[in-house]
Amino acid sequence: MSDLSKSFGVPALIASIGLSLLGPLPAQAQQDTGVLFQNVRVFDGKNGALSGPSNVLIRNNKIEKISTAAITADAQVIAGDGRVLMPGLIDAHWHAMLIRPTPATAIAGDVGYTNLLAAAEATATLMRGFTTVRDMGGPAFSLKRAIDEGLVAGPRIYPSGAMITITSGHGDFRQLSELPRTIGGMLSRMERIGGAMVADSPDEVRVRAREQLMQGATQVKLTAGGGVASPFSPLDVSTFTEPELRAAVEAAENWGTYVAVHAYTPVAIQRSIAAGAKCVEHGHLMDDATARLMAEKGIWLSTQPFVDLSGASVLGPAEQDKMRQVVAGTDRVYGFAKKYKLKTAFGTDVLFSKALADRQGAMLTTLTRWYTPAEALTMATSTNAELLGLSGPRNPYPGRLGVVEEGALADLLLVNGDPIDNIKLIEDPAKNFVVIMKDGKVYKNLLGGDRNK
């Protein structure tokens, strides 16, 4: 054994060789001298009014200083010329691994290929200005790692891992030929790739929840009622029993985080609340009493502005019929959200459609049917960031997101125009987002910039 390996051990020697082969560390891992945005108006993610002309200094991955006075620093200068600087957008209900493949490819296709598809979509997501996503089901752990290590350009990911379902529940994409299920037997293809896990008792739920947490889940996702895309789950059914739901809640709380539930109907929502779930995904078929209960208990509503069926062409006739029922409930759910002042997050829940994912920003602008542009943008920035904070010590990105404030993480968009006055600018990110920054690193810059000392 060489002197080096004796001194530092074989693992250290291997690591040393690996680093020499890899070459320089990625740019985001190196010391950065900073970026200075000059003459920008700031939408801070919380207040509807823009600031006066300001200068914003980014050092490493945080906003170091915001001032109406001149800032002199060793930094790359980006001349804002009065453009609007705003927080990066956040999508609270995303499925990074399920956007581009077809349902058949997602379940039965080659895993390597689906991961490459997801990596390409992750970069496209970031280039649409969405610097953070909360992934609500799918094997996104490796993609998150690749993004965090700088191998792939993409958003921050708050992963749930496999969604947990019951036999025949939403998320159970097994074929009838795979039944009957042998308890403790071989896992289905769907389960082996980490898309969804079937759990039919409190003990099984507890195991599956802990497995996701072990892999790095920031929250645990259960499907408490029927869904649109799954072939064997009518919308009206409620799935998990209260003890089963409670088992997941206990596992999540032991890890300092929370359970989010896919639920449309009053029964599914109320049962989940009774079990201790903190966030309801969708809720389009809820009633007044359920909305009032959510307000009383401080339960989050993470819902989506579904208003048409243009993206549902990949679904079969039965699934499209279920989608129509959900679309019909969209006005109702936002009405309840406003009536009871529910803590409401914005997400898109795009599945199996690159074309629909490309309209991610347009789905955000749809919120103006119920909210002002400032309210919609606040929901997609600081409000969504507040929801992400429920993950507590499981938060993989400690720091403030969704705001433009001193000390906050530097996820920023420089907009060619005023999105408060014209939110439609969000619909064309290629043209209107002239600078996209995540974690202090510039991923897109149509303006260039010189060094300032």
Q: What's the pLDDT score for residue 18?
A: 39
Alpha helices by DSSP H, 306-407:
317-328, 330-339, 354-357, 360-365, 373-378, 384-388
Q: Identify any residues that bridge with 86 across adjacent strands, giving them in sequence order.
A: 413
Looking at the structure, tell me whether residues 216 and 71 fall in a common domain: no
Looking at the structure, tell me whether residues 311 and 431 fall in a common domain: no
Looking at the structure, tell me whether residues 59 and 144 fall in a common domain: no
Distance between CA 61 and CA 407 in Å, rounded?
Answer: 9
Full pLDDT tens readout for the chain, 453 residues: 444 333 334 333 333 333 333 333 344 433 457 999 999 999 999 998 999 999 999 999 999 999 999 998 999 999 999 999 999 999 999 999 999 887 778 778 888 899 999 999 999 999 999 999 999 999 999 999 999 999 999 999 999 999 999 998 887 877 777 777 777 777 877 888 888 899 999 999 999 999 999 999 999 999 999 888 778 888 888 999 999 999 999 999 999 999 999 999 999 999 999 999 999 999 999 999 999 999 999 999 999 999 876 655 567 777 778 888 888 889 999 999 999 999 999 999 998 889 899 999 999 999 999 999 999 999 999 999 999 999 999 999 989 999 999 999 999 999 999 999 999 999 999 999 999 999 999 999 999 877 665
> Does some domain include residue 95?
yes
> Does some domain include residue 53?
yes
Query: DSSP 3-state assignment of 304?
Result: coil
Q: What's the pLDDT score for residue 310?
A: 64
* Tokens encoding 324: 């129509």
The CATH number covering residue 342 comes to 3.20.20.140
Looking at the structure, tell me whether residues 3 and 73 fall in a common domain: no
Distance between CA 67 and CA 356 in Å, rounded?
Answer: 39
Looking at the structure, tell me whether residues 260 and 344 fall in a common domain: yes
Looking at the structure, tell me whether residues 68 and 150 fall in a common domain: no
CA distances for 201 relative to 17, 207, 212, 259, 394, angstroms = 48, 10, 17, 17, 26
Q: What's the pLDDT score for residue 172?
A: 80
Query: Which residue in the block uniquely carries the two structure tokens 């939110």?
Result: 423
> Does some domain include residue 412?
yes
The CATH number covering residue 434 comes to 2.30.40.10
Number of domains forming the structure of the chain: 3
What's the start-to-end Cα distance of the chain, in Å?
Answer: 51
Looking at the structure, tell me whether residues 310 and 329 fall in a common domain: yes
Q: Identify any residues that bridge with 419 across adjacent strands, giving them in sequence order.
A: none
Range of the domain at 3: 1-28
Looking at the structure, tell me whether residues 72 and 100 fall in a common domain: no
Q: Would you put residue 314 in left (φ > 0), alpha (ψ -120 to 50) or beta? A: alpha
pTM metric for this prediction: 0.90
Q: What's the pLDDT score for residue 19?
A: 34
Axis-axis angle for helices 330-339, 288-297 (nearest 10):
40
Looking at the structure, tell me whether residues 220 and 177 fall in a common domain: yes
**To the nearest 10°, the Cα dihedral for 73, 74, 79, 83?**
-60
Looking at the structure, tell me whether residues 258 and 135 fall in a common domain: yes
